[in-house]
Amino acid sequence: MNLLFYISSFVAVAATILAITRFHPVHALLYLVVSFLAAAMIFLSLGTPFIAVLEVIVYAGAIIVLFIFVVMMLNLGKDTALQEKNWLRPKVWAGPCLLVLILLVEMIVLLLNAPDVTMHITVVDPRKVSLSLFGEYIIALELVGFLLMAGIVGAAHIGKQKKKILHRFLN
Amino acid sequence: MHQYLYLIPALPLLGFLILSLAGKHLHKRVIAWIGAGTIGAAALITILLGIEFLQSPPASGAYTQLLWNWFSAGQLSVAVSITADALTLVFIFVITFVGALIHIYSTAFMRRDRDYARFFASMNLFVCSMLVLVMADNLVLLYLGWEGVGLCSYLLIGFWYETPANCHAANKAFYITRIGDTAMAIGLFLLFKELGSLHIATIIEQAPKHFEAGDTHITLIALLLLAGGIGKSAQLPLQTWLPDAMAGPSPVSALIHAATMVTAGVYLIARMHTLFQLSPVSMTVVAVIGALTLFIAGCSAMVQTDIKRILAYSTISQIGYMFLALGVGAWSAAIFHFFTHAFFKALLFLAAGAVIEALHHEHNIFKMGGLKNSMRVVFLTFLAGAASLAALPLVTAGFFSKDPILWYAWGAANGNPFLWILAIAGAFITAFYSTRLMLVVFWGERKTPVGDHPGKWMTVPLVILGIGSVAAGFIEWPHNLVHFTLFSEQVQKVLPAVVLKQNLPSELIFQGIAALVTFAGLYTGYVLYYSNKGILEGWRQSAALLAIRNFLLGGWGFDDLYHALFVQPFLFITRINKKDVFDRLYNGIAQANININRLLSLTQNGSLRWYIAGVLLGILFIITMQLL
Amino acid sequence: MPSFTVHTVLIVSAVLFVLGLIGVLTRKNVIFMLISVEIMLNAAGLAFVAAGAKWQQPDGQVMFLFILAMAAAEVSIGLALVLQIYHQHKTLDVENITALKDEAVDEMV
Amino acid sequence: MNELQFEALLPFIVLAAASMAVILLIAFRMSHTVIQVAAFLMACLVIFAMWYVKDTLPQSVPPLFVVDGFGALFTGMIIFSMMAVGLFSYIYFEEREENPKEYYILLFLATLGAATLTISTHFISLFIGLEVLSVSLYALIAYLRNRNNAVESGMKYLVLAAVSSAFLLFGMALIYMETGSMEFERIAQSIKESSSSVLFSMGFGIMVVAIGFKLALVPFHLWAADVYQGAPSPVTAFIATVSKIGVFAVLLRFAQSVNLPQYPLVISIFSVIAMASMIVGNLLALRQQNIKRLMGYSSIAHFGYLLVAFLPGNAAGVEAAAFYLLAYSITLLAVFGVISVLSTRMKDAEDLVIYKGLFHKQPILTAVLSICFLSLAGIPLTAGFIAKFFILASGVQQNLWLPVLVLVITSVIGLYYYLRVISTLFAASSSTGTTAKTLHPFFYISTYIALIVMMLLLFWLGIFPGRAVEGIREFLLIR
Amino acid sequence: MILVWLIAILLIGGTLCWLLAQWNKVFPKWIALCATVAGLVLMVWLCLQYKNSGDGAGSEWFINYRLSWIPAFGISFHLALDGLSLVLLLLTFFLGILSVLCSWNEIKEKHGFYFFNLLWTLAGICGVFVAMDLFLFYFFWEVMLVPMYFLISIWGDTNRRYASYKFFLFTQAGGLLMLLSILALYFIHAQQTGIYSFDYFDLLHTSPGASTAKWIMMGFLFAFMVKLPVVPFHSWLPDAHSEAPTAGSLILAGLLLKTGAYGIIRFVLTLFPQQAQAFGWWAMLLGAIGILYGAFLAFAQTDLKRLIAYTSVSHMGFVLLGIFAFNEIAMQGVIMQILTHGISTGALFVMAGMLKERLHTRDINQMGGLWTAMPFMGGAAMLFTMASLGLPMLGNFIAEFLILIGAFSASAALTVLATLGLIFSACYALRMMQKVFLGPATVTAPLKDMNVREWVMMSALTIGIIVLGLFPQPVIDMVKGVVGALVD
């Protein structure tokens, strides 16, 4: 199982790198799916099968599909890819990457400073999660309901298209 | 009478108040009566007081009247308190008596002026201030009078303020005297620090106990007070304002710039004689300043063409004699010369004023001439004054007062042959320019037609003063002649008697020399300006002599020197710093803030990526802090 | 059962997190930015799950669940905004959507 | 959950229910006015509920919440601000959108999120509260979706908020990894026991990004001006008050629970951030011509000041912070109230030019606005002065000389732009007249009354702060 | 309680002015006049009471009124009155009446708000002079600022915004540093005694460590020096004075600057006697520099009000010099200077205002020869010019003389330097006089001399300055107790 972790970690990192470097949105999203699937494998190796499943269904499934849906709807294709390709020159990405890498190195150094503990993985099964979720965290769960409601109301309002696109006083 | 002492300064003050507040609405005649009347009344009181003083002198030697306590803070306690001893009485007499005459003269002289009330108000205020100056029993009150006369001098020099030159002259007079005043103020501070009092009598009493002779402090104090005196009395090196001060009306020149105010320095030194006596250095300085001044000013007087400027330089020169006398310790001689000088110099100015007015405001003596017959009274009185100025032996007051000075310049304990030489040279010069003045103005051919003849209100004061210029000398005869010494007897109640050197030649020799020199001066004047004018014409051809003449005409270049040395740098500094360097500093700070604002504004460029970069920098900062 | 050290897991999630950050920073298309944000959220979730696993508590998983919900809500509004932006600006390039910024001030009121 | 706990949570439940109620009202096609009034009544109900539960405090609802005086105090401020924002919203939205009704749902939800933050004692509730707030805010900011600026600012806020949420989560995860708990108290206990706290401090450091973002502290402040400008004025007021009060409250609670000031590192990070915020905020505002942006920059500076009160970590600091937030939110609400009133259907009243010579046209609004700006500048007679005074006092008490000096110097700089606004108000009048509005006078009158009441409140707090301070102290003692 | 009334009269009067202005444009003037006159009457009555109570009876406080304000922080509403405050309050109300009078016709718009600000500024100044709680003091210190700011920025001249910003920022910078110092003192006091109190009488006995005390004193001093103003910090003053409306300049020069002097006397000297003593020489140096620097700049100015403003800088140098000389004579002089400068410079500003009203310019190059047209104003101008250069008989002389003679024993060299200021003061004063009233007449338009209202104002000022010059003793006696206690 250790091996699974390392392999899937590698896959996740590699897929993520690919995802953030693709020019075509659909390609990027597909790599992202791979990355999420690999993450699901990591979760599995961490003894959380429930989360692994959710990762696949919600992240790789629902959310990515939402993205793809929007990409399709806006018909973002070659133009966007070309635009991004023109944009993503070393001049543009080198600086941020350097800074972020410094950040990464610093974070890793800090992490390594912390005492290293070996985790002993035991499966925490969905039942336990559910008990916790509907027990002590029930209010949080309800609040998440409101969170989603806010999301829905907001998305519904903002997503609405008016016939007139121009502001009315402009015409 | 002495219970009315306070009336002497109060009456002129009253006049001033009435005239300044209601002057606009009063008739000129009323103004004249108030203006001259108050002074006249004060003069009357003074004369009565003087008689009382002579008949039954007060036990303490002075009348004193406490009016009110001015202020007292800490150990400093100052009262508005006036006092009159013999010295003061001399001054009061001159101020009120000559002042009254000049006022009377002015009522006619100024008759056409629009600001009649303002003139008399200022004159009355001046008389009041001058009286306060001499009657003050403490130095703060004296300083009040001192500054007050300065103010009035300023107001009156600039009386015709619409001409910028007059204003400049007034300002100049104020600035320069202010320099002296400031030094004097510092002297007062030092005096107070040392003695803890500014009461004159106390100082006189305490100073010898507190200071050793020749102490640095006392020298410093004396020199600072002297500086005040120099400023007011137009002595070297602060003499430059007085010739310019002639911009004022002639009565003003007569009263302020000849008879009274300019002698305030003499009064101050005489009043504080104890301090000066304690400091031989300062005495020497006084004498040297006096001697130099009398010579330098006299030289300048020789070449002036403006009648009033001649008289002005002459005034400086005569006050130089007084300083010389003070410096050699001939206190009463100095005061006596002040006394006589007041008469003849006031007379000369008033007469000059009459001449100027008659000749349509012509000041240049070479455009006058031949007035001997057309202005008889003026001529005669002017003659009396000029003779007195030239110190014509035995018949003029000027002789009686100047002669002792010449004698003491050599013979007094502090005396010195060099001082005497300068003084004798001065006597020659004086006689010379007096003659020159007389001859050019009154003899020769008439160059400007005579306009208005002075009326009786002008001639009567002239005559009285003329009599005074001759007769005033008779109250004090030299020791070796008649030995009638009414004046010095009285004054020596206050001032110490002069100490003579041992083994002196006879005084008579000196008197003889003085008389000879005077006649020599007269004769030179006569030759150059009457009998043989060609010599002068010859001299005019010489460039060197012309340069010297111009040098003397400009008052030995002091004006230019000061201009370059003080005025220009001051103006330069003020001009370059008009905008205040500190303002620039603060504006710089403000500008820096604005520049930072500009820079920071660039970070708000609306780009989302840039904003995220901000977040990245933040987290980098935080993580780096933790690593460190 | 497998066992890893804390360091390993955290480093993996940190790398994923940082990759997401790079994505947000370098891309200028809003959609790519949102995608990168999802990567970051996922990385944070991974750290949570790992922490839960370390303590053998369900809390980490519960948190992941909530992150999931939050991501969904956010993405839904985000995509709605994307639609609006695309309709109004005809572009999704953030470099072109910079109407709001400090403007140069010449004359001050 | 027992009955008492339920009661303690009642205000929050009412708040949640209110959002549902608005949905129902919309479903029944009620008019804007009805919804507005109903919303107002519901807000009153919340306050009533708070009054009702007052005596049962403090009440712990483990593990997520504790409803204590601290929470009640900040919740009270939040509800108050929300009511004011709701009031201004009516006249603002009535003439802009045909459909301003969902707005109230989002408003209630956002308030719920912020209020939840104030009583959170657990990372989960913190996170959920924050996200309810943020997600509602995304929608609120972009609410006027047809205006280009609105979606732009919404997008900026969304991306940045999401990034900062990710940081928050990552930081929380690290702390959880270290301590094995997400409850504040137990985290504190655990650190006390454990030898190393590297992960904890690193985790907290990463969390600072999110906190800094929400409070718009330098260098996470760059969004502030854009969002303030782009959002509808009432929403800007909401961001400036409610969301910041909530976040600051939870920061304070967390800091108190785990005793943050014992970490010199945290203190130095926060003092650097505080000083940078004061300097940058004030300098950025210096020449700003857009009053909403100006308020954005000024809020950066003000939260820098507020951090000076946070730094000492003592009771005086908390009191000072609470008072400052109170004064600041009243002031800001009044300012944005005036902006809302002056806004026309064309454009928000955001350019300073519009305010030129306002004194001649709208003396009451001018008076309110100038008092507000004086309060922001910290001039006596106004609440802002007392607030700044308390902050300085708490800073001086702990010998935090450097931040305190920076505060003093920067507030002098800040004075300049406040004065600039004030003198613009009183400048000679410009010719442009404001267009007359055709709304129900009731709302105008009530808005004016609200503004005047707020102005008087500022005076009251500025002249007799004693009662308010005591009140705050009493509340803070209930724990 | 009477002190509360004193302030309340002004506050209420001000508010009434604003509220009733809508009703009738004339009301505010009269209300303001009534309020200030009532205040003055009250003050005169208090003065008489004070005299009867046996003046100069040590540093006894004549009135001491205390009310709890913010007990949580140990802040009380503590007002007290002694001779010093009494004198300053008298000046405040005297100039207050004049400031109302000189705005009578000058203000053309927003009457209500104008008089509101005017009265509130006065109220703030009153408060500063009687507040005995440091917090309350700071409170009033700032309260007087805001209405003043409005006076400048609304009714000021062309460059008013710049001037008002500068004024506000400078004083605020000083004020905030003072607030820090107050707080530091407060906490040190609390540490030492366990009592949290801002009360002056409590804090009087605080003894912070030497170096701490130095810094705390610097905070106070900085605020006061900015207000006074002392030379490097004077930059706000010329702008504020020259741009303010006449009444504003009058109050600024006459009263606001005095709060700085008052602050130094009341707080710096008593709270930090040793430190103040140690700083004495430097302060005197600053004072002397101020005297000369102000005079130099005054000479260079062409803007009449700016010129007068710089003379204030110069005159306030004397105040600083005198305060830090630490002896009774100089301190008496300082108090005299506070009064007389208030009157003389106030009068000059009033005059400048009258000229501005007639000529619509402040540029002295465009004036000249005005005496002919306006002899009374010329006379008055001459009087106050002379007062300004320290002519005896007028109050300023007493002040400057006492200061200098007192300071001389503290530092002869610096006093000599300062005394040179007398020369330069003559330079600027006479230049001003000459440029404005003397010389050839340049203004052809017919000019009216002073009207009755102006006459009344100028007479009051004239009488004031002359009475102070000839009979200063009552004032000296009134503050004797305070001064005596200070220099011990």
Q: What is the pLDDT of residues B119-178, one digit of tens each?
A: 888 888 888 988 888 888 888 888 888 888 888 888 888 888 888 888 888 888 888 888
What's the confidence (pLDDT) of residue B410? Answer: 83
Q: What is the DSSP letter of D122?
A: B
- Counting CB pairs under 8 A, whether chains E and A reach 3 or more, is no
The answer to whether E481 touches E59, Cβ cutoff 8 Å, is yes
Interface test with D, best of A143, A162, A167, A169 (most D CBs within 10 A): A143
Q: Which residues of D touch B606 (CB under 8 A)?
A: 226
What's the confidence (pLDDT) of residue E56? Answer: 46
pLDDT band at D1 (very low <50, low <70, confident <90, very high): low
Same domain, A13 and A92: yes
Closest Cβ–Cβ partner in B616, B617, B623 for A106: B623
- Whole-angstrom Cα distance, residue D215 to residue D407? 17
| Region B95-124 average pLDDT | 86
What's the confidence (pLDDT) of residue B194? Answer: 84
pLDDT band at D249 (very low <50, low <70, confident <90, very high): very high
CB contact under 8 A, D202 and B614: no
- Counting CB pairs under 8 A, whether chains D and C reach 3 or more, is yes
Q: Which residues of A touch B627 (CB under 8 A)?
A: 106, 109-110
Q: What is the pLDDT of residues E363-400, one digit of tens each?
A: 888 888 888 888 888 888 888 888 888 888 888 888 98
* pLDDT above 90 for B394: no
The model carries a pTM of: 0.89
Q: Which residues 123-152 of A have a C-beta within 8 angstroms of D?
A: 136-140, 142-144, 146-147, 149-151
CB contact under 8 A, C28 and B609: yes
| Cα–Cα distances in angstroms (integers) from residue D431 to residues B76, B536, D344, D356, D434, in the given order | 65, 83, 17, 9, 10
Q: What is the pLDDT of residues E291-338, one digit of tens each?
A: 999 888 888 888 888 888 899 889 999 999 888 888 888 888 999 899
> Quick check: E123 contacting D, CB < 8 Å?
no
Q: What is the pLDDT of residues D146-170, one digit of tens each?
A: 776 888 899 999 999 999 999 999 9
Q: Where are the alpha helices (DSSP H) in B412-484?
A: 417-442, 456-471
Is D52 in a helix, a strand, or coil?
A: helix
What's the confidence (pLDDT) of residue D435? Answer: 53
The structure tokens 């007493």 sit at E398
Residues near D347 by beta carbon (within 8 Å), at least 6 away in sequence: none
Same domain, A24 and A61: yes
Q: What is the pLDDT of residues E130-181, one digit of tens each?
A: 998 988 999 888 888 888 988 888 888 888 888 888 888 888 888 888 998 9
Q: Where are the alpha helices (DSSP H) in E194-303?
A: 200-203, 210-227, 236-243, 246-251, 257-263, 269-271, 273-300
- Whole-angstrom Cα distance, residue B516 to residue C30? 118
Range of the domain at A160: 125-171
Secondary structure of C2-69 in the HEC alphabet? CEEEHHHHHHHHHHHHHHHHHHHHHCCEHHHHHHHHHHHHHHHHHHHHHHHHHHCCCHHHHHHHHHHH
Same domain, A109 and A26: yes
| Region B304-309 average pLDDT | 86
Closest to A116 measured CA to CA, from D172, D265, C43, C10: C10
- Whole-angstrom Cα distance, residue E349 to residue E368? 17
CB contact under 8 A, D379 and E145: yes
Where are chain B's structural domains?
579-627
What's the confidence (pLDDT) of residue D57? Answer: 78
Question: Encoding tokens for residue D330?
Answer: 């009243």
Q: How many domains does chain A have?
A: 2
* pLDDT above 70 for B284: yes
* Preceding amide of B249 cis, omega within 30: no
Nearest CA in chain A to C34: A67
Nearest CA in chain A to B613: A96
> Quick check: C99 contacting B, CB < 8 Å?
yes
Nearest C-alpha of chain D: how many angstroms from E172?
7
Q: Which residues of B touch C96 (CB under 8 A)?
A: none
Interface test with B, best of D156, D214, D280, D286 (most B CBs within 10 A): D286
CB contact under 8 A, E173 and D409: yes
Interface test with C, best of D125, D130, D169 (most C CBs within 10 A): D169
Q: How many domains does chain D have?
A: 1
Nearest C-alpha of chain E: how many angstroms from B527?
44
The answer to whether B328 touches B321, Cβ cutoff 8 Å, is no
What's the confidence (pLDDT) of residue D432? Answer: 56
pLDDT band at D431 (very low <50, low <70, confident <90, very high): low
* pLDDT above 60 for D458: yes
CB contact under 8 A, E300 and B148: no
| Region D105-116 average pLDDT | 93
- Whole-angstrom Cα distance, residue E221 to residue E477? 27
- Identify the structural domains of chain C with CATH numbers, from first to last: 6-108 (1.10.287.3510)
pLDDT band at D329 (very low <50, low <70, confident <90, very high): very high
CB contact under 8 A, E70 and D465: yes
Helices D383-397 & D401-426, crossing angle to 10 degrees?
Answer: 170
CB contact under 8 A, C98 and B607: yes
Per-residue pLDDT of chain E (488 residues; tens, 9 = 90+): 788 888 888 899 888 888 888 788 888 888 888 888 998 898 888 888 887 776 444 446 778 888 888 887 888 888 888 888 888 998 999 999 888 888 888 877 788 888 898 899 999 999 999 998 988 999 888 888 888 988 888 888 888 888 888 888 888 888 888 998 988 888 888 888 888 888 888 888 887 888 888 888 899 999 998 988 888 888 888 888 888 888 888 898 888 889 999 999 888 888 888 888 888 889 889 999 999 998 888 888 888 888 888 998 899 999 998 888 888 888 889 998 999 998 999 889 988 888 888 888 888 888 888 888 888 888 888 888 888 888 888 888 889 888 988 888 888 888 888 888 888 888 888 888 888 888 887 777 777 877 888 888 888 889 998 888 888 888 888 888 888 888 77
Backbone φ/ψ region at D59: left (φ over 0), alpha (ψ -120 to 50), beta: beta
Sign of CA dihedral D245, D247, D252, D256: positive
Closest to E92 measured CA to CA, from E52, E131, E121: E121
Same domain, A79 and A12: yes
* Preceding amide of B505 cis, omega within 30: no
Q: What is the pLDDT of residues B489-530, one digit of tens each?
A: 777 777 888 778 777 777 788 888 888 888 888 888 888 887
Same domain, A95 and A23: yes
What's the confidence (pLDDT) of residue D372? Answer: 92
* pLDDT above 60 for B456: yes
Please state the φ and ψ torsions of residue B82, each to the nearest 5 degrees.
Answer: -115, 150
Q: Is B169 exposed, middle or buried (0-12, 13-18, 19+ CB in 10 A)?
A: buried
pLDDT band at D434 (very low <50, low <70, confident <90, very high): low
The answer to whether E184 touches E216, Cβ cutoff 8 Å, is yes
pLDDT band at D116 (very low <50, low <70, confident <90, very high): very high
* pLDDT above 60 for D267: yes
Q: Which residues of E touch D392 (CB under 8 A)?
A: 179-180, 183
* pLDDT above 70 for A171: no
* Preceding amide of D234 cis, omega within 30: no
| Region B255-263 average pLDDT | 83
Q: Which residues of C touch A63 (CB under 8 A)?
A: 38, 71-72, 75
Nearest C-alpha of chain D: how many angstroms from B586?
13
Closest Cβ–Cβ partner in E146, E153, E180 for D426: E153
Is B544 in a helix, a strand, or coil?
A: helix
What's the confidence (pLDDT) of residue C108? Answer: 53
Q: How many Cβ pairs within 8 Å bridge chains A and C?
A: 237
Same domain, A113 and A139: no
Strands D59-61 and D65-67: antiparallel
| Region B402-411 average pLDDT | 83
CB contact under 8 A, D182 and C52: no
**Can you say how many angstroms the Cα of residue E376 is from the centroid of all Cα atoms in its chain?**
27
Please state the φ and ψ torsions of residue B63, each to the nearest 5 degrees.
Answer: -90, 135
Closest to A41 measured CA to CA, from A15, A67, A68: A15
The last residue of a domain, from among A97, A119, A141 = A119
The answer to whether D140 touches D107, Cβ cutoff 8 Å, is yes
* pLDDT above 80 for D347: no
Q: pLDDT: is B365 or D148 the higher one?
A: B365
What's the confidence (pLDDT) of residue E206? Answer: 80
Residues in chain B: 628
* pLDDT above 60 for B203: yes
The ipTM is: 0.88
> Quick check: B506 contacting A, CB < 8 Å?
no
Secondary structure of D411-425 in the HEC alphabet? HHHHHHHHHHHHHHH
CB contact under 8 A, B626 and D222: no
Interface test with E, best of B167, B168, B175 (most E CBs within 10 A): B167
| Cα–Cα distances in angstroms (integers) from residue B221 to residues B145, B216, B270, B276, E469, in the given order | 20, 9, 15, 9, 26
Nearest CA in chain A to B627: A110
Same domain, A111 and A65: yes
Q: What is the DSSP letter of E303?
A: B
Q: Which residues of A touch B617 (CB under 8 A)?
A: 99
Is B506 in a helix, a strand, or coil?
A: coil
The answer to whether B101 touches B346, Cβ cutoff 8 Å, is yes
CB contact under 8 A, E154 and D405: no
Q: What is the DSSP letter of E252?
A: I
Please state the φ and ψ torsions of residue E85, each to the nearest 5 degrees.
Answer: -60, -40
CB contact under 8 A, C98 and B613: no
Q: Which residues of D touch B604 (CB under 8 A)?
A: 222, 225-226, 284
Interface test with C, best of B612, B619, B620 (most C CBs within 10 A): B612
Nearest C-alpha of chain D: how many angstroms from A120?
14
Nearest CA in chain B to C103: B601
Range of the domain at D275: 3-477
